[in-house]
Amino acid sequence: MARTVGVLGLQGDFARHLAALRRIHCPSRLVRRPEDLKTCDALILPGGESTTFMNLMERTGLAEAVPEFARNHFLFGTCAGLIVLATEIEGGCRFRPLGLIDLAVRRNAYGRQVDSFSERIRIPLFPENPAFEAVFIRAPKIVRLGGSTEPLGFHRDEVVLARNANVLAAAFHPELTRDSRIHDYFVRQLIG
């Protein structure tokens, strides 16, 4: 049975995630209201601006609905999505994160928009070819992993991809490349 992956469509580059899911032939849909989650088996929280993202989630009721959904479903957060899912934001911010993956992040740790870059990272999950071209745009840095969180991908010696029991989180934008292996891992290995 095909699984339907929802992509939070409030702000950010949700269209690129939908395109990545189409490339791996995974049914998908936009999620803009809590009731949209009823037809989803998993949810992707894309990059964007984390404060705006969280404000929109609060306004639409998704700030309460997503943690409830996460009790029995898988989530994948990229860049701002990672920040929203974290348990702690180093240095604080104007919103309280959802606390769905035990890790701490520092916002914009790789620099401002003009400091954006693309670089090969190492993902041992893909033993035939662990190199993955990752795009970092005002990216957060994972500064601490909790005991229930497993590192999966590395930029030099820094963790940039991690997961716990049902949340996958990336500090970069895998949807901005043609390499769909991370989306495929999320859909086929995690969701099943």
Residues 110, 111, 112: CA angle, nearest 5 degrees? 140
> CA-based angle 143:165:173, to the nearest 5?
50
**Which residue type is seen at 64?**
E
Structure tokens at 128: 């035939």
Residue 40 known to be catalytic? no
pLDDT tens for each residue of 42-69: 999 999 888 898 999 999 999 999 999 9
The per-residue pLDDT for range 14-41, each reduced to its tens digit, is 999 999 999 999 999 999 999 999 999 9
Q: Which of 17, 26, 155, 175 is catalytic?
A: 175
* CA atoms of 36 and 29, how far apart (whole Å): 9
Q: How far is CA 90 from CA 16, 26, 36, in A?
A: 28, 35, 32
Largest Cα span, the chain: 44
C-beta separation of 140 from 170 below 8 A: no
Q: Out of 73, 155, 173, 183, pick the active-site residue.
A: 173
Per-residue pLDDT reduced to its tens digit, 69-90: 999 999 999 999 999 999 999 9
* Marked catalytic residue, from 40, 79, 155, 183: 79
For residue 155, give the amino acid letter: H
The domain locations on the chain are 5-191
Predicted structure pTM score: 0.95
Write phi, then psi, for 153 (nearest 5 degrees): -145, 150
State the SS3 of 116-134. CEEEEEECCCCCCCCEEEE
CATH number belonging to domain 5-191: 3.40.50.880
Respond yes or no: is residue 173 known to be catalytic: yes
